[in-house]
Amino acid sequence: MTDFVEELNWRGMLHNYIPGTEELLKKEMTTAYIGFDPTSDSLHVGSLAQIMTLRHFQKAGHKPLVLVGGATGMIGDPSGKSEERNLLNEETLAFNLAGIRKQLEKFLDFDPSLPNCAEVVNNYDWTKDYTFLDFIRDIGKHITVNYMMAKDSVKKRINAEDDGTNATGMSFTEFSYQLVQGFDFLWLYENKHCKLQMGGSDQWGNITTGTELIKRKLSGKAYALTTQLITKEDGGKFGKSEKGNVWIDASKTTPYEFYQFWLKVSDTDAKKYIRIFTELSKDEVEKLIAEHELAPDTRLLQKTIAKEVTVLVHSLEEYNTAIEASAILFGKSTRQAIENMSDSTIESVFSGVPVFNIQPAAEPWNILDLLTSVAPVFASKGELRRMITENGLSINQEKWTKADGVVSDSDFIRNKYLIVSKGKKQHFLLKISN
RNA sequence: GGGGAGAUUCCAGAGCGGCCAAAUGGGGCAGACUGUAAAUCUGUUGACGUACGUCUUCGGAGGUUCGAAUCCUCCUCUCCCCA
């Protein structure tokens, strides 16, 4: 059985915790929860760090609760936001919750025969019938506005002018958020014996409102533990690719794209991510880093992370296909190599890249029409021309330089497939369907 | 309820009657160098046409003018301050 706090610590995931948390975890099997934001019907790689936290927690012999925020999702957490959030409607939320719940089941052990089996809870269940009056009398009474205003997430929005940020104001709704989240903790404390809430470091303020509430209302002792927010070397937001968020759901982000996302991570980030997103032991990690540094160009770390995470989130088969596709698209393979592949191999290898099905045509296509209207790889002809001028367009792995050229059936591999590349990293497949 | 500030192209933010498809910065995309890394440099970033050019854009609707993102009127929304 591993020591949870120590485990997070060496992995560089630990941010802060209330004194006594470590002792509590050593003393008894503890129940803890992490809340997930239901703003989409799928989790994305940003949530993956929290999932890993829960996995470590369960491995350490404790009981993880996953809270899907049906209620809090309706309000919107102001932490880290400089603007008021859009509210989701009930239907969307219900749909999103179902999607997320399903995904989580893959990462934790929900077997009810285990004493520390994971459970999913939805705060909508215990808030939906709670009246406003009850809430402000029984919950709001215990927390002062002064206390709530002192939270960074609130201060930041209220003192926007003083510190020169452009944050906009904050509605009462968002202001109440911490109290609603605190109420969740209170409820779980009373009903599920849950003594600990975890979350990203941006959740510290919200979590401690919960522990405070438990202390004042029940004279109980609850704990908090936060993890480091995942950062990127360049300061950008972690978890985005050219196409936006990187999702766990294969229909939103294909396993190939998912694999590529991890493979493209920078060296500096890779050293952090290998500890956060894989479950390799400390020795293995240190060995890999040392090995990577001897020959950084082999990108051993990126490959290891990509493998571990893709296999965990998708499967070994998907991972193998992703490697195969990567080898073709980024390797030196020529048109000839692809000519020799079977249709089904091509289809599976390219299953990760965007595919455009097009109709056969009597006349050859003008390249401009083909790639903007027949198969809209590019948003406009201007953009495509620019790309060609900049030497960024490749067809079937060969540079395309003629702005006004035509493409005919015979340019398609076996009269059927055409690989279009935008620069070096973005690939598309055009397929003539009969 | 009163007073003030503001709404500009992905974002921030200039422009304040013609020289504005709109400065500058950020971001994005591409190229060079590399290792599908980092850093750096270069180009590019409304649409259509190879191009001189044409068209649609500066919260919305009208108006003034040869001509408006820029002036006027009304409307909508946002923020701040005072009650």
Q: What is the pLDDT of residues A378-414, one digit of tens each?
A: 989 999 999 998 889 999 988 888 877 888 888 898 8
In this complex, which residue's CA is closest to the C1' atom of nucleotide B39?
A: A234
> Exposed, middle or buried: residue A162 (CB in 10 Å: 0-12, 13-18, 19+)?
exposed
Structure tokens at A114: 């285990």
Phi, psi of A173 (to 5 degrees): -55, -50
Q: What is the DSSP string of A32-71?
A: EEEEE--SSSS-BHHHHHHHHHHHHHHHTT-EEEEEE-TT
Query: In this structure, what token pair is assigned to residue A328?
Result: 């073709």
CATH of the domain at A286: 1.10.240.10
Question: What pLDDT does residue A165 have?
Answer: 43
DSSP letters spanning A180-199: HHHHHHHHHHHHH-EEEEEE
**Does A170 fall in a domain?**
yes
Tell whether A342 is covered by a domain. no
Query: What is this model's ipTM?
Result: 0.85
- For A185, the domain range is 4-227
Shared domain check, A214 and A98:
yes
Residue A166 has pLDDT above 80, yes or no: no
Closest nucleotide C1' to the C-alpha of A404: B50
Mean pLDDT score, A76-105: 76
Whether residues A304 and A424 fall in one domain: no
Domain co-membership, A253 together with A220:
no
A76 plus A171 within the same structural domain: yes
Residue among A276, A243, A258 nearest A318 (CA)? A258
Span A254-267, pLDDT tens digits: 899 999 999 999 99
Are residue A21 and residue A139 in the same domain, yes or no? yes
User: Stretch A109-126: mean pLDDT, rounded?
Assistant: 93
* Of the residues A262, A296, A330, the one at which a domain ends: A330
User: Which strands, in side-by-side order, build the sheet including A426-432?
Assistant: A355-358, A426-432, A417-422, A393-395, A398-399
CATH of residue A37:
3.40.50.620
Residue A336 lies in a domain: no
Say if residues A117 and A109 touch (Cβ distance below 8 Å): yes
Q: How many CB atoms lie within 10 A of CB A22?
A: 17
The larger pLDDT score, comparing residue A169 to residue A24, is at: A24
A317 and A358 within one domain: no
Regarding whether A379 and A297 lie in a shared domain, the answer is: no
Domain annotation covers residue A344: no
Note the pLDDT tens digit of each residue in A328-364: 888 776 777 788 888 888 888 888 888 999 988 888 8
Q: Are residues A174 and A276 in the same domain?
A: no
Picking from A280, A296, A330, the residue at the C-terminal end of a domain is A330
Residue pLDDT, tens place only, A418-432: 999 999 889 999 999
Q: Which nucleotide is nearest to A329 (CA to C1')?
A: B36
A276 CA from B68 C1′ (Å): 57
- Residue A135 placed within a domain: yes
> Which nt sits closest to A267, CA to C1'?
B37
Task: Check: CB of residue A63 under 8 Å from CB of residue A32.
Answer: yes
How far does the CA of A405 sit from the C1' of B52, in Å?
Answer: 24
Q: Residue A314 has what pLDDT?
A: 95
In this structure, the answer to whether residues A50 and A189 fall within a common structural domain is yes
Q: Quote the CA–CA distance of A329 and A307 in Å, as a whole number.
A: 18
Q: How many angstroms separate the CA of A407 from the C1' of B54? A: 29
Residue A140, in any domain of the structure: yes
Mean pLDDT for chain A overall: 88
Rounded Cα distance, A169 and A182, in Å? 22
Closest CA relative to residue A419, chosen from A400, A390, A399, A394 = A394
So what's the pLDDT on residue A334? 73
Quote the CA–CA distance of A403 and A388 in Å, as a whole number: 6
For position A424, which CATH number holds?
A: 3.10.290.10
Q: In Å, what is the separation between the CA of A88 and the C1' of B6?
A: 28
Q: Give pLDDT, residue A402.
A: 83
Element (H, E) at A172: helix A172-192
Residues A189 and A247 in one domain: no
Q: At A225, list the tokens.
A: 């533990």
Phi, psi for A196 (deg, rounded to 5): -135, 135
Band of pLDDT at residue A164, cut at 50, 70 and 90:
very low
Q: Which helix (H) or strand (E) holds A432?
A: strand A426-432
Q: Of A330, A364, A394, at which residue does a domain stop? A: A330
Percentage of chain A lying above the pLDDT 70 cut: 93
| CB within 8 Å of A152: residues ≥ 6 apart | A205
8 Å CB contact between A313 and A287: no
Provide, in whole angstroms, the distance separating residue A153's CA from nucleotide B79's C1': 19
Which residues of the protein are close to the nucleic strand B, CB under 7 angstroms? Answer: A 84, 160-161, 166, 168-169, 233-234, 236, 242, 260, 263-264, 266-268, 296-297, 299, 302, 326, 329-330, 368, 372, 379-383, 385-387, 390-392, 403-404, 422-426
Domain shared by A86 and A214, yes or no: yes
Give the nucleotide nearest to A331 (CA→C1'). Answer: B36
DSSP letter string, A295-335: -GGG-HHHHHHHHHHHHHHS-HHHHHHHHHHHHHHHSS--H
Alpha carbons A362 and A171: distance in angstroms, whole number:
61
Please indicate, yes or no, if residue A186 is contained in any of the structural domains.
yes
Query: How many domains, chain A?
Result: 3
User: With 90 as the cut, is the pLDDT of residue A176 above it?
Assistant: no
Would A419 be classed as within a structural domain?
yes
Is residue A161 predicted with pLDDT exceeding 60?
Answer: no
| Antiparallel, parallel or unpaired: β A398-399 and A355-358 | unpaired
A139-148 long-range contacts, CB within 8 A, separation 24+: A139/A179, A139/A182, A139/A183, A139/A186, A139/A213, A139/A217, A140/A179, A142/A213, A142/A216, A142/A217, A143/A179, A143/A182, A143/A209, A143/A212, A143/A213, A143/A216, A147/A209, A147/A212, A148/A175, A148/A178, A148/A179, A148/A209
Q: Are residues A123 and A155 in the same domain?
A: yes
